[in-house]
Amino acid sequence: MADAAEILIDGAPATRADLIHIALVNYGAYTSFRVEDGGVRGLDLHLARLEASALELFGEAVSEARLRDLMRAALGDRDAAFLRVSLFSPDIWPRTPGWTGAPKVMTGVFAPPPPLAESLRLQTQVYARETPHLKHTANFGLIRARRLARAAGFDDALFVDAGGRVSEGSLWNIGFVREGEVVWPQAPMLAGVAQALIQRGLAEAGMNSVLKPVHRRDLPRFDGAFICNSATPACAVASIDGYDFDPTAAPLDALRAAWASQPCQPI
């Protein structure tokens, strides 16, 4: 990701004290998304994510009205950008973890990023993110997993548990395709907004998607696979470990159309 055009905290330029805290204390949550024509696909889901994260991590949510105000202030007159909205508290440190209240809101505005890739070769790794249902700021494990995968000649890492059950990737959700049906893995993971938008769009188009456990041993049962996140609505998976997929088996056009069918919601 490129340098932030601007970092604001509660709508004001970041102070030295706030930046020191953020650099030293890895406790918080965030969401990030593409802004298109001044709106956001799935903004309702991003706002719900921030509310749930704030309640769980800090004990108090930031109001939706304030979040919207801060997002608009961060964007200014930009109508296209990539916006990250983070929650943290300068009162929480390793020795003083007990503070409760509404967190501060940090916004960072970036240039819209390109898709992750045209196709991906994935390496399975036995790993689960800490508190996987939260999009939290503890990214050490994710970055290390991607580094290990690339050092081994792959593009990225796909997480499985000790029994081989698939959950999610380093920065994305994964879906599998079998006879025209999309199968989403059922496991502890982050519920991705791009995944939810595709699910909504598929349902509206009369296409079926299901949630069920997927194990590494099940790979030959699928025709194809794809990944999705806020920067990449759909990208084909070329292989997982030593198993190759037909890169044309994942209906990328239909998946992208399902994502694009969900309207941008005004901030």
Q: Which two tokens stand for residue 228?
A: 């999705």
175: pLDDT strictly greater than 90: yes
Q: Which of 221, 217, 223 is nearest to 241 (CA)?
A: 217
Predicted local distance difference test score (pLDDT) of residue 10: 98
C-alpha span between 8 and 108 (Å, rounded): 7
Predicted local distance difference test score (pLDDT) of residue 4: 54
Q: What are 137-157's pLDDT values in tens digits? A: 999 999 999 999 999 999 999
Sheet holding 12-13, edge to edge: 12-13, 6-9, 104-110, 80-88, 29-36, 39-41, 264-266
DSSP track, 76-95: TT-SEEEEEEEEE-TT-BTT
Q: What are phi and psi of 265, to 5 degrees?
A: -95, 130
**All structural domains of the chain:** 6-110 (3.30.470.10), 119-266 (3.20.10.10)
Q: What are 165-174's pLDDT values in tens digits? A: 999 999 999 9
Q: What are 21-52's pLDDT values in tens digits? A: 999 999 999 999 999 999 999 999 999 999 99
Q: What are 224-236's pLDDT values in tens digits? A: 999 999 999 999 9
